[in-house]
Amino acid sequence: MKNKILLKRKGLENNSVLLSSMKGRPYFLLVFFVFFFTACAPAPTPVPLTAKATPIRPTQTEIPATLTPTAEPSPTATNIPTATPIPCDAYESFCVEDGHFWLARPISTEFNYEIEPAYRYGSTINGKRDPHHGVEFINAFGVPILAAADGRVIHAAEDKPAFYAPWERFYGNLVVIEHDLPELDTPFYTLYAHLSVINIAEGEVVEAGQAVGNVGMSGGAIGSHLHFEVRMGGYEYSDTRNPELWLQALDAMHGGIVVRIENQTGKLLRVPLVIDKVGGAEDSLERIASLDAYAPETHPVGVDDDWAETHAIGEIPAGEYRVSFSYAGQYWERFAKVHPDKVTTIYFLIEE
In a domain, 104, yes or no: no
Q: Give the whole-angstrom CA distance, residue 31 versus residue 24.
A: 11
Same domain, 236 and 275: no
In a domain, 110, yes or no: no
* Backbone phi and psi for residue 118, each to the nearest 5 degrees, phi listed first: -75, -20
Q: Which of 168, 169, 259, 156 is nearest to 210 (CA)?
A: 156
| pLDDT tens sequence for the chain (352 residues) | 434 333 333 343 343 333 333 344 443 333 344 333 444 444 444 433 333 333 334 344 343 333 333 333 333 333 334 444 457 999 999 999 999 999 999 999 999 999 999 999 999 988 888 899 999 999 999 999 999 999 999 999 999 989 999 999 999 999 999 999 999 999 999 999 999 999 999 999 999 999 999 999 999 999 999 999 999 999 999 999 999 999 999 889 999 999 999 999 999 999 999 999 998 776 789 999 999 999 887 778 999 999 999 999 999 999 999 999 999 999 999 999 999 999 999 999 999 9
Identify whether residues 79 and 94 lie together within a single domain. Answer: no
One domain for residues 177 and 272: no
Distance CA 156, CA 202 (A): 5
**How much is the pLDDT for 56?**
37
Identity at 274, one-letter amino acid code:
V
In a domain, residue 321? The reply is yes
- pLDDT at position 283 is 73
- pTM of the predicted model as reported, rounded to 2 decimal places: 0.75
- What is residue 132's predicted lDDT score, i.e. its pLDDT? 95
Q: Which residue range forms the structural domain that includes residue 148?
A: 117-245
> Does 60 share its domain with 92?
no
Grouping H, G, I as helix, E, B as strand and the rest as coil, residue 16 is helix
CA distances from 128 to 124, 205, 218, 226, 295 (A): 6, 38, 20, 20, 12
Give the Cα-Cα-Cα angle 139, 141, 147 (nearest 5 degrees): 65
The answer as to whether 5 is a domain residue is yes
Rounded Cα gap, residues 248 and 177, in angstroms: 18
Choosing from 175, 210, 245, the residue where a domain stops is: 245
227 and 272 inside one domain: no
Task: Please compute, for residue 95, the number of CA atoms within 13 A of its CA located in the half-sphere on the CB side.
Answer: 17
pLDDT at 74: 36
pLDDT at 86: 59
Structure letter (DSSP) for residue 92: T
Residue 227 lies in a domain: yes
Give the three-state DSSP class for 271: coil
Q: How many domains does the chain have?
A: 3
95 in the same domain as 70: no
**Residue 111 located in a structural domain:** no
Final residue belonging to a domain, choices 245, 261, 283 = 245
State the CATH number of the domain containing residue 237.
2.70.70.10
- On whether both 129 and 197 belong to a single domain, the answer is yes
Neighbours of 76 (CB within 10 A): 8
DSSP tag of 209: T
Give domain status of residue 215, yes or no. Answer: yes
223 and 279 both lie in a single domain: no
Do residue 239 and residue 141 come from a single domain? yes
- Give the integer Cα–Cα distance in Å for 118 and 217: 18
Residue 106 lies in a domain: no
Residue 296: Cβ within 10 Å count: 13
**Amino acid 282: pLDDT:** 64
Instruction: Collapse the DSSP code of 212 into the 3-class scheme (helix H, G, I; strand E, B; otherwise coil) and give the result.
Output: strand
Residues 158 and 238 in one domain: yes
Q: Write the DSSP symbol of residue 10.
A: H
Q: Identify which of 349, 186, 215 has the alpha carbon closest to the alpha carbon of residue 269.
A: 349
* DSSP assigned state of 311: E
Look up the CATH number of the domain holding residue 323.
2.60.40.10
Co-location of 290 and 235 in the same domain: no
Cis? peptide before 161, omega within 30° of 0: yes
| Domain C-terminal end among 219, 245, 271 | 245
- Are 299 and 239 in contact by the 8 Å Cβ rule? The answer is no
241 with 122, same domain: the answer is yes
